[in-house]
């Protein structure tokens, strides 16, 4: 029965409707909370926005774990694991596929920082319904991928981050865009031209942003998390797989690097980041060949790591059930009435609403597509 629901258009539509309707409701309430910051209650406004964000973003791990059966195995040193979720951190992650975000949302929920996850994202995401609006309310850093303007945007945002009173994760994809074979070709041409080692599983990282951010956060953020994810079977899943409820397995490895080990001098910081990505490339190559990470002494930097399977979160399940109980029955009843018992105008409006939800869900799914001006 559940399998039929996952593969049905109706099941996917109700999932999309619940996610977007819940998000729209949360966005409206968050909008009402914004003026609090204008009249001297900035921290209270932030706390309200964060708590409201959890009520929406909890749907992501709920759908991931209870609908799509995403199975995440975390690898890290035990001492590092005890710090996850209990300190501010800069996350440097490989940008492998459309589910990168979903994995981080699940990890953040597991360590109780889901509502405090931030990221540096392209400015076009700001207008994406529900997701982009939530990012704006949560003070994500929106960049235009323009060296002339992005530096100022980042500096201003980091100054704002210094006033956060809660622990947060700031996620940065240093490759600047998601990996594809065409972009890899452009990346390797750049690497050869500039005396760098070409990478097999990653694009050459953009170092200026990382250097600027690590310097700006040095006094308030104690660590950089070097995050690498791989998918057993060497097949990168898509958001369509996710929505379709197809089982996905994820291997995730995290290395905690104290912020004082990150060089402040730009050229040394650049080499430091390149070394991180060379390590990531070794990790992904080993995983591709052995379907596991090299935590048994094969790579000294990861020796001592242990495996931890992220259990399904019941609180996220409770949140999505609550939203579905509140939103689905009234929507179904009203839609059926307007379609079959209402006036012609009501039937047209009901049909347009259904079409609008379907189109908006496609826009959200498309926002994860690998389109960029990389290499231009």
Q: What is the pLDDT of residues 248-263, one digit of tens each?
A: 899 999 999 999 999 9
- So what's the pLDDT on residue 258? 97
Kindly list the distances between the CA atom of residue 311 and the CA atoms of 22, 131, 169, 241, 290, in Å, as whole numbers in the listed order: 25, 25, 21, 21, 24
Nearest to 20 by CA among 353, 368, 350: 353
- So what's the pLDDT on residue 203? 92
Does residue 36 contact residue 144 with C-beta atoms inside 8 Å?
Answer: no
Q: Which of 114-123, 235-244, 268-277, 296-305 has the lowest mean pLDDT?
A: 235-244
Q: How confident is the model at residue 5 (pLDDT cuts 50, 70, 90)?
A: low
* Sign for the pseudo-dihedral over CA of 51, 26, 323, 116: negative
Does residue 236 contact residue 278 with C-beta atoms inside 8 Å?
Answer: no
Which CATH architecture does the domain made up of 71-311 adopt? 3-Layer(aba) Sandwich (3.40)
Strand positions, DSSP E, 113-247: 117-122, 141-143, 169-172, 223-230
Which residues on adjacent β-strands are paired with residue 252?
74, 229
- So what's the pLDDT on residue 1? 47
Chain-centroid distance, C-alpha 64: 13
Q: Which residues are within 8 A (CB) of 203 and not within 5 positions of it... i.e. 6 or more apart?
A: 95, 175, 176, 177, 179, 183, 184, 187, 374
**Residue-averaged pLDDT of the chain:** 87
- So what's the pLDDT on residue 169? 97
DSSP code, position 310: P
Nearest to 115 by CA among 44, 21, 52: 52
Torsion over CA of 243, 246, 251 and 257, rounded to 10 degrees? 0
- Other CB atoms within a 10 A radius of the CB of residue 126 amount to 13
pLDDT mean over 230-239: 77
User: What tens digit of pLDDT does each residue of 212-222 get?
Assistant: 999 999 999 99
| pTM for the model | 0.88
pLDDT mean over 280-300: 92
Tell me the C-alpha distance between 239 and 245, whole Å. 10
Kindly list the distances between the CA atom of residue 54 and the CA atoms of 11, 59, 112, in Å, as whole numbers in the listed order: 23, 9, 10
Phi then psi for 216, rounded to 5 degrees? -70, -25
- So what's the pLDDT on residue 124? 86
User: What tens digit of pLDDT does each residue of 140-151 get?
Assistant: 999 987 777 888
Q: Which residues are within 8 A (CB) of 287 and not within 5 positions of it... i.e. 6 or more apart?
A: 230, 232, 251, 293
């Amino acid at each position: 029965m559940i399998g039929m629901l996952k593969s049905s258009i109706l099941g996917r539509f109700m999932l999309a409707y619940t996610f977007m309707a819940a998000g729209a409701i949360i966005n409206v309430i968050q909008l009402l909370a914004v003026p609090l910051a204008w009249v001297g209650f900035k921290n209270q406004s932030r706390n309200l926005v964060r708590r409201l964000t959890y009520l929406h973003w909890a749907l992501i791990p709920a759908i991931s774990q209870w609908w799509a059966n995403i199975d995440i195995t975390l690898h890290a040193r035990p001492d590092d694991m005890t710090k996850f979720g209990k300190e501010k951190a800069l996350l440097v992650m490989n940008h492998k596929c459309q589910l990168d975000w979903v994995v981080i949302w699940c990890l953040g929920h597991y360590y109780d920082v889901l509502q405090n996850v931030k990221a540096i994202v392209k400015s076009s995401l700001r207008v994406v319904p529900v997701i982009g609006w939530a990012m704006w309310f949560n003070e994500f850093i929106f960049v235009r991928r323009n060296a002339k303007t992005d530096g100022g945007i980042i500096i201003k945002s980091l100054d704002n981050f210094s006033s956060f009173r809660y622990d947060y994760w700031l996620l940065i994809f240093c490759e600047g865009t998601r990996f594809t074979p065409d972009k890899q070709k452009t990346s390797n041409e750049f690497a050869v031209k500039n005396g760098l080692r070409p990478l097999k599983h990653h694009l050459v990282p953009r170092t200026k942003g990382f250097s600027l951010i690590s310097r700006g956060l040095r006094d308030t953020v104690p660590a950089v998390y070097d995050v690498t994810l791989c998918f057993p079977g060497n097949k990168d899943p898509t958001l369509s797989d996710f929505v379709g409820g197809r089982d996905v397995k994820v291997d995730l490895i995290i290395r905690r690097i104290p912020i004082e080990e990150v060089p402040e001098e730009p050229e040394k910081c650049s080499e430091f980041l390149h070394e991180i990505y060379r390590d990531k490339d070794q990790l992904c190559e080993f995983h591709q060949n052995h379907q596991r990470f090299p935590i048994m002494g094969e790579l000294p930097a990861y020796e001592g790591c242990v495996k931890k399977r992220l259990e399904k979160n019941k609180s996220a399940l409770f949140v999505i059930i609550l939203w579905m109980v509140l939103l689905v029955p009234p929507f179904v009843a009203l839609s059926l009435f307007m379609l079959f018992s209402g006036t012609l105008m009501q039937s047209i409006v009901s049909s347009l609403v259904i079409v609008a939800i379907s189109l908006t869900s496609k826009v959200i799914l498309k926002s994860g597509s690998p389109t960029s001006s990389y290499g231009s």
